[in-house]
């Protein structure tokens, strides 16, 4: 979820109940980390991949990919995840540099931002995901003697359960500004569940809070069935993303937030490719053309 869809898309046979989608993003972050022109550094990512036997032959460096950046899966798609990681890193750090000191990662998956980013000393990062996912991550990081750079609170709960109570019990304060991230999550949720999640974030936040999430424009997903990215992901590592995405109508969550008084901007990934000078650009029959990154802020009273 944050960088994964592990909450809803576990694949049988993967250690600790961690979904292959989570490990796909971890492999992409590993590849990005080792690039000479890297946009984001995650030195832990390759260790997650190597800890899961199902991914033993996956590349963790672009040099291990025969076609390099020309490869639709480990080149272009991995570059997309690397760019997304950087953009959302910047968003979170920007939010905590102003008002927010509480960070909530919804469906945290194998996210290691609590370990690799430079946080204010009084910040706290809450990681919400299922117990099996967090346990797998914890074991790998413990084996590496990794230490977080910020106070980190694991909240082992399924997002389909009462995660609000679990979060507040873990110390989250709705009266204090917070920043929320749903990275690589909403595609997999039914529309009403997404709406509930957005409404709940609004209810749990005060002025000065922020939210970032990835959305997909309403379109027949089967139109992308033969897209190079999805074809390669399906055929080579056995992840059929289009079957994992919820096929129902998508809500206008950005519009919902605006109606509640938030400011919300929506961007294509390609805007950030041009800004950073690296990343995917549009292609024919492009599975990425409908992806949008949304950044929302709740004004202070």
pLDDT tens string 77-102: 999 999 999 999 999 999 999 889 99
Query: pLDDT value at position 56?
Result: 87
Least confident of 38-47, 103-112, 242-251: 242-251
Query: pLDDT value at position 47?
Result: 98
For residue 5, pLDDT beyond 50: no
How far is it, in rounded angstroms, from Cα 151 to Cα 178? 14
229, 287 Cβ separation under 8 angstroms: yes
Of 205, 194, 209, the closest CA to residue 256 belongs to: 194
* Per-domain boundaries in the chain: 15-297
Q: What does the pLDDT look like over 186-224, one tens digit per residue?
A: 989 999 999 999 999 999 999 999 999 999 887 767 778
Of 196, 207, 220, the closest CA to residue 287 belongs to: 220
Reported pTM: 0.93
Mean pLDDT across the chain, nearest whole number? 91
How far is it, in rounded angstroms, from Cα 27 to Cα 75? 11
Of 117, 129, 125, 85, the closest CA to residue 101 belongs to: 125
Phi-psi bin for 229: left (phi > 0), alpha (psi -120 to 50), beta? alpha
pLDDT > 70: what percent of the chain? Answer: 94
More confident residue, 13 or 52: 52
Question: Band of the pLDDT at 6, cuts 50, 70, 90?
Answer: very low
**DSSP three-state, residue 57:** coil
29, 22 Cβ separation under 8 angstroms: no
Q: Say which CATH class 15-297 falls into.
A: alpha beta
More confident residue, 25 or 223: 25
> What one-character DSSP code corresponds to residue 246?
-
User: Which residue reads 């990062």 in tokens?
Assistant: 125
How far is it, in rounded angstroms, from Cα 61 to Cα 63? 5
Least confident of 124-138, 139-153, 219-233: 219-233
How far is it, in rounded angstroms, from Cα 29 to Cα 293? 18
Of 77, 154, 142, 72, the closest CA to residue 111 belongs to: 154
How far is it, in rounded angstroms, from Cα 259 to Cα 129? 29
Six token digits for residue 54: 């199902």
Query: pLDDT value at position 224?
Result: 81
For residue 33, pLDDT beyond 80: yes
Query: pLDDT value at position 247?
Result: 87
For residue 116, pLDDT beyond 60: yes
Query: pLDDT value at position 151?
Result: 98
Mean pLDDT over residues 281-286, rounded? 91
Q: Measured on CA atoms in the order 136, 138, 141, 144, is the torsion positive or negative?
A: negative
């Amino acid at each position: 979820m944050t960088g994964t869809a592990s909450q809803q898309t576990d694949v049988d046979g993967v250690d600790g109940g961690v979904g292959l989608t989570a490990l796909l993003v971890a492999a992409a972050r590993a590849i990005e980390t080792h690039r000479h022109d890297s946009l984001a550094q995650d030195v832990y990512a390759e260790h997650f991949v190597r800890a899961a036997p199902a991914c033993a032959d996956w590349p963790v460096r672009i040099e291990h990919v025969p076609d390099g950046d020309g490869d639709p899966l480990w080149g272009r798609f991995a570059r997309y995840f690397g760019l997304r990681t950087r953009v959302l890193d910047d968003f979170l750090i920007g939010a905590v540099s102003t008002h927010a000191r509480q960070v909530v990662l919804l469906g945290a998956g194998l996210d290691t931002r609590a370990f690799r980013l430079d946080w204010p000393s009084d910040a706290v990062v809450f990681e919400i995901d299922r117990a099996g996912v967090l346990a797998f991550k914890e074991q790998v990081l413990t084996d590496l003697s990794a230490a977080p750079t910020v106070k980190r609170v694991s909240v082992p709960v399924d997002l389909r359960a009462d995660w609000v109570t679990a979060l507040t019990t873990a110390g989250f304060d709705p009266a204090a500004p917070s920043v929320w991230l749903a990275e690589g999550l909403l595609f997999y949720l039914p529309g009403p569940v997404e709406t509930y999640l957005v409404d709940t974030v609004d209810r749990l936040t005060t002025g000065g809070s922020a939210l970032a999430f990835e959305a997909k424009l309403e379109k027949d997903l089967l139109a992308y069935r033969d897209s190079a990215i999805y074809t390669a992901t399906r055929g080579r590592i056995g992840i059929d993303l289009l079957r994992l995405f919820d096929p129902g109508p998508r809500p206008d969550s950005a519009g919902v937030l605006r109606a509640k008084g938030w400011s919300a901007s929506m961007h294509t990934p390609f805007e950030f490719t041009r800004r950073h000078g690296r990343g995917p650009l549009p292609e024919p029959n492009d599975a990425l053309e409908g992806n949008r990154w949304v950044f929302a802020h709740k004004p202070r009273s």
